[in-house]
């Protein structure tokens, strides 16, 4: 079993706790499903949010999904002029048999433009 990292991102339409919960849950669920993961495969998840998001912690959505025994952390993205607004990103460390080339990185909606090279 190898330790791998999987990336993902989603752009929120508005900064509300309900919308963040919905969008981050969708992102995290897609990462889990597309990589054939279970909760036991998750080692840790790092969430970042752009400086214009203030309504809630992205990790709160993971806890609501039942991910309660996995270390989670939230941080703020760099405030770069011209960067896409209202984006939540994640970096999940996982245990998997998948080779690096088969990891499904998930960029939903407009966030797909952030990493056209790896978005699936």
Query: 36-51: per-residue pLDDT in tens?
Result: 999 999 999 999 999 9
Per-residue pLDDT at 111:
93
**Mean pLDDT in residue range 8-26:** 98
Residue 20's pLDDT is 98
pTM as predicted: 0.93
* 120 pLDDT higher than 60: no
Q: Does pLDDT of 1 surpass 90? A: no
Q: How far, CA to CA in Å, does 98 sit from each of 32, 60, 102, 103, 110? A: 13, 28, 6, 7, 27
Sheet holding 72-76, edge to edge: 72-76, 42-49, 87-96, 2-11, 106-108
Mean pLDDT throughout 85-112? 96
Which residues neighbour 56 within 8 Å (Cβ) at sequence distance 6 or greater? Answer: 17, 20, 21
Residue 119 pLDDT greater than 60, yes or no: no
CB atoms within 10 A of CB 2: 10
CB environment 70-80: b (16+ within 10 A), e (fewer): bebebeebeee
**If one looks up domain 2-115 in CATH, what number appears?**
3.30.1330.40
Q: Mention every residue, 6+ apart, whose C-beta is less than 8 A from residue 19.
A: 12, 13, 55
Task: Flag whether pLDDT at 118 surpasses 90.
Answer: no
**What does the pLDDT look like over 57-73, one tens digit per residue?**
999 999 999 999 999 99
Mean pLDDT score, 64-90: 97
Q: Please report which confidence band the pLDDT of residue 115 belongs to, taking 50, 70 and 90 as the band edges.
A: confident
């Amino acid at each position: 079993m190898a330790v791998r990292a999987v990336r993902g991102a989603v752009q929120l339409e508005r900064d509300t706790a309900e919308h963040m919960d919905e969008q981050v849950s969708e992102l995290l669920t897609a990462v889990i499903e597309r990589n054939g993961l279970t909760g036991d495969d998750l080692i840790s998840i790092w969430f970042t949010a752009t400086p214009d998001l203030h309504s809630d912690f992205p990790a709160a959505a993971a806890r609501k999904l039942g991910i309660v025994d996995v270390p989670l952390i939230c941080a703020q993205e760099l405030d770069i002029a011209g960067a896409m607004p209202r984006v939540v990103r994640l970096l999940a460390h996982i245990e998997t048999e998948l080779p690096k080339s088969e990891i499904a990185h998930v960029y939903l909606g407009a966030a797909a433009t952030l990493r056209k090279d790896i978005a699936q």
